[in-house]
Amino acid sequence: MSDSWAVAVDLQESTTPSVQFARLRKVARVAAPCSTREDINGNIQPESSEKGGSRKFCDQTDLAEQSLLNKMIRRSLVRNRNQVEVLQRDPTSPLYSVKSFEELRLKPELLRGVYEVMEFNRPSKIQESALPMMLAQPPQNLIAQSQSGTGKTAAFSLAMLSHVNPENKWPQCLCISPTYELALQIGQVIEHMGKFCPDVTLAYGIRGNRMKRGVNLQAQIVIGTPGTILDWCTKLKLIDPKKITMFVLDEADVMIATQGHRDQSIRIHRHLTKECQMLLFSATFEDSVWSFAERVVPDPNIIKLKREEETLDTIKQFYVICKEKEDKFTSLCNLYGSLTIAQAMIFCHTRKMAAWLAENLSAEGHQVALLSGEMTVEQRAAVIERFKNGLEKVLVTTNVCSRGIDVEQVSLVVNFDLPVGLDGRADNETYLHRIGRTGRFGKRGFAVNMVDSRHSMGIIHEIEMHFERTITELDTSNLEEMESLIS
């Protein structure tokens, strides 16, 4: 792979300005003869350097020339996108997209895990594009956007299992995620996929897993949350960051939205070597995520979706007009009584509302589980395990479960309360992650939003505009209409 390119892979045939911009990142850096950096808008900016105690800045004339050159390169690449995507179509390239797991030349024991345990038939779209990059030699850095339920967790889990040297009994791959539940789920994928790799071990760097300072941690893969992982790297000295050769950051948009997670993630990154392979994943990419990604992933390959592709086509989205919570509850019962539902997840804005709803659903005879942030780690793990095993058919929760929790049988997601930000506007990213709990791996799913005011109707319109999708009104009191819309 030429050093002068950062390959951007479009998951669809069309291209967008943001993808085109991504293709130019490394070009601009190579074209600039002096020390520069590119800001989030693609403009060349001077970058100070220190040598012998003095600071040196680029000449403004040079900057103007570099900016012009950058724009010229951008225009030429927009005219001919095949120049940068040819590497993914060339079978001799290490970044060649694959159509089967055999093409990745995986170890036989990993192939057995993929087929026999995970029961995969062929790579998903994100897997066929991302895995060659993650497994390439020399290692390639990657920033990837992928819809929920498309197999990104399995992709980077397979990359970590392929990457480690089982003979080295120390942490080599490090993965951080924003929640305890998601860390556990990632670990379970690794354990299942690596079933036939007995020499590869896994450790969970999560709250409640108490470790003593200086313990000789022999696990090659460590999965955890930012705060605990940072402690293991700095205070407890369980992980030597200089020996980490692959770093995976999952759900990047959540990381930067939570200031503590963002700061801890950056501090962990600072302890790693420049040679460490960096992989960053998220279902959404706003400007703030790109800015964060630039800080932690140098010279990346980039996979990005167009905004209108972010919502899954397999999920039918509806809204129901209600007056108050009791009206919402009646509509929910009508909906649940008329649909063939394997399992359902219902999202509430507050713990109090979630508790009220769970109690009333139980009184109606439904098998209900309740999950909220004030529960202990052990309680939350037990609730999720029961729900995954089908012991409860309905999970009532707050946003603690909006990300990454993968239960294949979930066919219905209900936003009992619509997701809103602190500014009172639609929280589009949380909406996307919530409804992404259904429609997994191409299966059909339904998302129903309860609208109880003019303001919440405005939230629905904001979501429609953001994703450029229509959300259809549903009358839950009209059984025939419901059956025709959801069939």
* Residue 311 banded pLDDT, cuts 50, 70, 90: low
Between the alpha carbon of residue 466 and those of residues 423, 430, 469, 471, the distances in Å are 16, 13, 8, 12
Quote the DSSP letter at residue 86. H
Between the alpha carbon of residue 311 and those of residues 166, 287, 317, 419, 443, the distances in Å are 39, 19, 10, 15, 14
Position 182 pLDDT exceeds 80: yes
Nearest to 110 by CA among 187, 190, 174, 221: 190
**pTM (global) more than 0.95:** no
Position 256 pLDDT exceeds 90: no
What is d(CA 363, CA 23) in angstroms, rounded to the nearest whole number?
A: 56
Nearest to 79 by CA among 148, 20, 38, 125: 20
What is d(CA 206, CA 37) in angstroms, rounded to the nearest whole number?
A: 36
Residue pLDDT, tens place only, 69-98: 333 333 332 332 333 344 445 555 555 577
Most confident range (mean pLDDT) of 145-149, 188-192, 286-290, 435-439 is: 188-192
Nearest to 456 by CA among 310, 346, 349, 372: 349
So what's the pLDDT on residue 38?
37
So what's the pLDDT on residue 224?
95
Residue pLDDT, tens place only, 136-173: 988 999 998 876 667 889 999 999 999 999 999 999 99
* Residue 405 banded pLDDT, cuts 50, 70, 90: low
* Residue 276 banded pLDDT, cuts 50, 70, 90: very high
Residue pLDDT, tens place only, 230-240: 999 999 999 99
So what's the pLDDT on residue 96?
58
So what's the pLDDT on residue 352?
92
* Residue 442 banded pLDDT, cuts 50, 70, 90: low
| Number of H-type helices and E-type strands within the chain | 17, 19
Position 46 pLDDT exceeds 70: no
% of residues, the chain, pLDDT over 90? 37
What is d(CA 454, CA 452) in angstroms, rounded to the nearest whole number?
A: 7
Position 221 pLDDT exceeds 90: yes
What is d(CA 460, CA 419) in angstroms, rounded to the nearest whole number?
A: 10
Nearest to 103 by CA among 135, 147, 148, 65: 135
Task: Identify whether the C-beta of residue 344 lies closer than 8 Å to the C-beta of residue 394.
Answer: yes
In one-letter notation, the amino acid at residue 256 is: I
Task: Identify whether the C-beta of residue 70 lies closer than 8 Å to the C-beta of residue 77.
Answer: no
Q: What tokens appear for 17 in the block?
A: 């300005």
- pLDDT top residue among 197 and 434: 197
Residue pLDDT, tens place only, 17-45: 333 333 333 333 333 334 444 333 333 34
* Residue 410 banded pLDDT, cuts 50, 70, 90: confident
SS (H, E, C) 151-196: CHHHHHHHHHHHHCCCCCCCCCEEEECCCHHHHHHHHHHHHHHCCC
Task: Identify whether the C-beta of residue 184 lies closer than 8 Å to the C-beta of residue 190.
Answer: no
Residue 376 CB contacts under 8 Å (≥ 6 apart), including other chains: none
What DSSP element (H or E) covers 446? strand 445-451
So what's the pLDDT on residue 19?
35
So what's the pLDDT on residue 124?
81
So what's the pLDDT on residue 30?
32
Quote the DSSP letter at residue 323. S
Nearest to 272 by CA among 172, 182, 205: 172
Q: What tokens appear for 471 in the block?
A: 């959300």
CB atoms closer than 10 angstroms to residue 13: 6
So what's the pLDDT on residue 323?
87
So what's the pLDDT on residue 315?
86
What is d(CA 139, CA 245) in angstroms, rounded to the nearest whole number?
A: 9
So what's the pLDDT on residue 445?
84
Residue pLDDT, tens place only, 322-367: 988 899 999 998 887 766 677 889 999 899 999 999 999 999 888 8
- pLDDT top residue among 18 and 403: 403
Residue 271 CB contacts under 8 Å (≥ 6 apart), including other chains: 233, 234, 241, 242
* Average pLDDT rounded to a whole number, residues 397-420: 80
What is d(CA 59, CA 117) in angstroms, rounded to the nearest whole number?
A: 59
